[in-house]
Homo-oligomer: A and B are copies of this chain.
């Protein structure tokens, strides 16, 4: 799906606690240890569930025919960054265990939250040990801005699970892609937003993006595409 899902529609953010800490030695907020790492075929069940949550969020559930096996068969056929690539966001209230990650140094952050996150799907999205859960993902691949004559990265999906939204996680996922593009000497990062999602547009503009208002996406799919089977 081409639309970058987050940030979500305008719903009230949880209220910050109004009380001050009891003493200066009390830490402010609740730590959430987060890590962005490359997804592997083992992550397909979680990716699959998030893709379906994204489809529901976009009211396109009936367009979503992705299965675990179709994702497994198509997502990991090339080295990361050379073709379709998924960054996974993992979080835990406890320090994250070390992992092997040969192709990408994981990006780790400790976020201080005002309230602990109540994750009703923690069991479903459990990732390894130590209370680690998958909180979101970004799927991207190289594109080719011809006028620059060098590759860019196209972000097909950016998704953060509902209970982890409004905490800056969409920003760190998109920033990770942008940083990777710079690291590789690429010229652009591009994605799509729905025109009614004013919160998302504002968020992206604040991140430095330009919204290209003149462009319209064209799509040939289904039977209209099949009609070209013998057209040539």
Q: Measuring CB to CB, which residues of chain A are less than 8 angstroms from any residue of chain B? A: 1-4, 36, 51, 54-55, 60, 63-67, 70-71, 74-75, 78, 82-84, 107, 139, 141-152, 154, 156-157, 172, 175-176, 178-179, 181-183, 187-196, 201, 204, 207-221, 224-232
Which residue of the partner chain, among B78, B175, B193, B232, contacts A179 with CB atoms under 8 Å? B232
- Residues on B with beta carbons closer than 8 Å to the beta carbon of A70: 149-150
Some 29 contacts from A to B, beta carbons below 8 A apart, are A1-B145, A1-B147, A36-B232, A51-B146, A60-B147, A74-B150, A75-B144, A75-B149, A83-B83, A139-B146, A141-B142, A141-B143, A176-B232, A179-B229, A182-B226, A182-B229, A188-B219, A188-B220, A190-B219, A191-B217, A191-B218, A194-B214, A208-B220, A208-B224, A210-B218, A210-B221, A212-B216, A213-B216, A217-B217
Q: In chain B, what residue has the closest Cβ to A159? A: B146
CA distance A220 to B212 in the complex (A): 11
CA distance A193 to B215 in the complex (A): 6
- Residues on B with beta carbons closer than 8 Å to the beta carbon of A176: 232
Which residue of the partner chain, among B60, B183, B215, contacts A217 with CB atoms under 8 Å? B215
| Beta-carbon contact of B71 and A149 below 8 Å | yes
- Most chain-B Cβ atoms within 10 A of its Cβ — which of A2, A75, A154, A224? A2
Kindly provide the distance from the CB of A62 to the nearest chain B CB, expressed in whole angstroms.
10
- Residues on B with beta carbons closer than 8 Å to the beta carbon of A187: 221, 225
Given A66-B148, A146-B66, check contact A175 B232 (CB 8 Å). Answer: yes
Kindly provide the distance from the CB of A129 to the nearest chain B CB, expressed in whole angstroms.
25
- Residues on B with beta carbons closer than 8 Å to the beta carbon of A139: 144, 146
